[in-house]
């Protein structure tokens, strides 16, 4: 599906973010190669979500730069980065309560299929008919992958939190992204749902979708990721294959605190 | 029927004129743009069309010019305004409306001062009003459908979400602002062409409250709500003639009650009722053919799903 071009899908160079005097990110540099599944780990408040927000341009870097597919995106808007093939899920689910599960998933496919001409979308129903059909097809394919087709007409707020999270993932998949950022996709899910998501992410990886996964479930990250980056207090403290990564003293210390290395 | 029609003509006309205005507020609120600017453009439309037709312009070009100009001005104006959030945008657009009232009062001969314009040539019949209201309804209902509809509702749910799926949020908000202003100008034009007069207070505080009440009582989630609200607010005073001068007090109380107990308005209440009653109204349905009234599950998507690739061996 994806040719290996040699250009990294994503490059973060010396990124820093100051939020009201707090250094949420400080000198973080990392590279994400095409078609692989990366894990972004670290304790609470280590800057994982901040980094994802910066990559999707919802948050400005104080200094440093971010390249998507080799292009500097620091002067681009979030919607422009999205149009470059980047999709993301949010740590807190963002679903439209007045729309069905299917329509929520369709939102993800709208822009890639319809394009941006407002007047045509607004006043030319005959022009949009075939596009609406292909948006629906994409959304249904995404729901199918998450086994949500039975719930497609339900209002999202009537569903359990774990299922709402799956709808959130389906919306991102409906965009058929090349680079997918997942912010704690399995938070609030039970074991079976987590395993299902883990398998799905692996399949996506095998189809060539580049992914950056933020998770609290370290075991899941070790199981499925190609590479782990670990953040602590805004610093990148480790970058290695998962199995090696979790043995690094700095990582153990970050997760368990000082003086607990022996226990780990 | 005929005598009823003629004795209520003013109300019917007033109702048709209010439809685009109520829609202008509804479309803004629905998209999370808390703006009253369209009330100001109602004044612009009324004065502009009045002044032009009094100087011999034909009705349709005068109306169209004011609608287009209002839309364009609103689009340009919106650049700084859409940075404001929620209540702040509401306050600024509120001030904009009041400033226009002052401008109209002090406009000398052009605007007729505090007396306003008198003797604007009548230029539209009830049929024309109905046509204009239908055009407005059509335009706004199309904003609720397909990709445009999803994006606009998404803005209210989460602006970050909408941007993250590739929607140009600023451009969408500015366009909504312009459409809202154009609808306001349309409504104002219709008013002056029907009643042949407009005063500085016509587009003032009272109209803001009345229009907001229409949109909110009906329910802002759909154009249907704005139409329901317009009908209610137009006919309520005649049904309860005793209200009289306390009319706006009653609007205020009703508005507070609706916001507190039925934030989705009459439309939301009707939908809620429908969800409750619908299953009971069709007990004769043969069981289990189509579960829960939805369309049959789509087999096409299942067939489209790709074959499962071999999972990577965990390493």
Distance CA A174, CA A179 (A): 13
Which member of A98, A111, A175 has the closest CB to residue B221? A98
Sheet containing A71-72: order of strands: A22-32, A10-19, A63-68, A71-72
Taking Cα atoms as reference points, which of A240, A243, A216, A211 lies closest to residue B315? A243
The pLDDT assigned to B243 comes to 66
Taking Cα atoms as reference points, which of A139, A141, A197 lies closest to residue A165? A197
Q: Report CA torsion sign: A24, A30, A36, A39.
A: negative
Given CB atoms, is B168 within the 8 Å cutoff of chain A? yes
Residue-wise pLDDT tens digits, B80-123: 998 888 789 999 999 999 999 999 999 888 988 888 899 888 98
Mean pLDDT of A246-263: 72
Ranges of each domain in chain B:
7-272
Closest residue of chain B to A80, computed from CA coordinates: B166
Is the pLDDT score of B298 beyond 50? no
Is the pLDDT score of B135 beyond 50? yes
Q: Which of A217-226, A247-256, B35-44 has the lowest mean pLDDT?
A: A247-256
> What is the number of other CB atoms lying within 10 angstroms of the CB of residue B282?
9
Domains of chain A: 7-85+177-264 (3.40.50.300), 97-170 (no CATH)
Q: Give domain B7-272's CATH architecture.
A: Orthogonal Bundle (1.10)
Residues of chain A with Cβ-Cβ distance to B148 below 8 Å are: 118, 121-122
The pLDDT assigned to A225 comes to 93
Which member of A77, A94, A223 has the closest CB to residue B157? A94
What is the average pLDDT value for chain B, to the nearest integer? 84
Residue-wise pLDDT tens digits, B213-230: 899 888 888 899 999 999
Sheet containing A86-88: order of strands: A86-88, A179-183, A210-214, A37-41, A227-232, A235-240
Distance CA B117, CA B202 (A): 11
Q: At residue A20, what are phi and psi to the nearest 5 degrees?
A: 55, 45
Which member of B165, B308, B309 has the closest CB to residue A111? B165
């Amino acid at each position: 599906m994806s040719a290996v071009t040699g250009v990294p899908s994503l490059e973060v160079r010396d990124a820093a973010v100051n939020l009201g005097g707090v250094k949420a990110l400080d000198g973080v540099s990392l590279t994400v190669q095409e078609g692989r599944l990366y894990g972004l780990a670290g304790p609470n408040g280590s800057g994982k979500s901040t980094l994802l927000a910066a990559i999707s341009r919802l948050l400005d870097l104080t200094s440093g730069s971010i390249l998507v597919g080799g292009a500097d995106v620091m002067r681009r808007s979030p919607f422009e980065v999205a149009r470059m093939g980047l999709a993301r899920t949010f740590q807190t689910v963002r679903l439209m309560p007045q729309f069905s599960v299917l329509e929520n998933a369709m939102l993800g496919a709208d822009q890639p299929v319809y394009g941006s001409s407002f007047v045509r979308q607004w006043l030319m129903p005959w022009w949009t008919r075939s596009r609406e059909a292909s948006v629906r097809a994409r959304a249904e394919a995404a729901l199918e992958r998450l086994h949500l087709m039975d719930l497609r007409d339900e209002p999202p707020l009537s569903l359990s939190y774990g299922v709402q999270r799956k709808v959130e993932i389906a919306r991102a998949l409906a965009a058929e992204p090349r680079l997918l950022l997942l912010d704690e996709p399995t938070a609030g899910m039970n074991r079976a749902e987590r395993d299902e998501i883990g398998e799905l992410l692996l399949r996506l990886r095998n189809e060539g979708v580049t992914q950056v996964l933020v998770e609290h479930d370290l075991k899941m990250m070790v199981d499925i990721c190609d590479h782990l980056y670990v953040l602590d207090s805004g610093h990148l403290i480790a970058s290695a294959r998962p199995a090696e990564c979790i043995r690094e003293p700095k990582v153990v210390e970050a997760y368990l605190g000082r003086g607990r290395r022996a226990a780990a | 029927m005929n005598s009823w029609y003629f004795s209520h003509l003013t109300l019917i006309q007033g109702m048709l004129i209010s439809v685009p205005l109520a829609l202008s507020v509804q479309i803004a609120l629905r998209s999370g743009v808390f703006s009253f600017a369209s009330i100001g453009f109602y004044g612009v439309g009324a004065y502009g069309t009045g002044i032009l037709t009094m100087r011999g312009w034909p009705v349709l070009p005068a109306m169209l010019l004011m609608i287009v100009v209002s839309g364009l001005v609103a689009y340009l104006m919106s650049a700084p305004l859409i940075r404001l959030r929620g209540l702040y945008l509401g306050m600024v657009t509120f001030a904009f409306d009041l400033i226009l009232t002052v401008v109209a009062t002090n406009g000398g001969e052009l605007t007729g001062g505090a007396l306003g314009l008198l003797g604007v040539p009548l230029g539209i019949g009830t049929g024309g009003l109905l046509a204009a209201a239908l055009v407005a309804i059509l335009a706004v209902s199309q904003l609720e459908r397909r990709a445009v509809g999803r994006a606009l509702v998404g803005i209210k749910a989460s602006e970050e979400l909408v941007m993250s799926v590739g929607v140009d949020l600023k451009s969408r908000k500015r366009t909504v602002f312009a459409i809202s202003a154009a609808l306001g100008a349309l409504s104002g034009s219709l008013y002056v062409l029907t009643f042949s007069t407009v005063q500085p207070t016509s587009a003032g505080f009272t109209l803001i409250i009345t229009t907001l009440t229409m949109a909110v009582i009906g329910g802002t989630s759909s154009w249907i709500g704005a139409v329901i609200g317009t009908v209610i607010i137009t006919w309520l005073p005649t049904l309860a003639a005793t209200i009289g001068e306390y009319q706006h007090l009653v609007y205020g109380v009703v508005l507070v009650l609706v916001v507190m107990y039925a934030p989705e308005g009459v439309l939301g209440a009707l939908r809620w009722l429908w969800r409750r009653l619908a299953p009971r109204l069709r007990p004769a349905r043969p069981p289990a053919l189509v579960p829960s009234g939805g369309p049959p599950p789509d087999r096409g998507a299942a067939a489209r799903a790709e074959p499962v690739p071999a999972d990577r061996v965990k390493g």
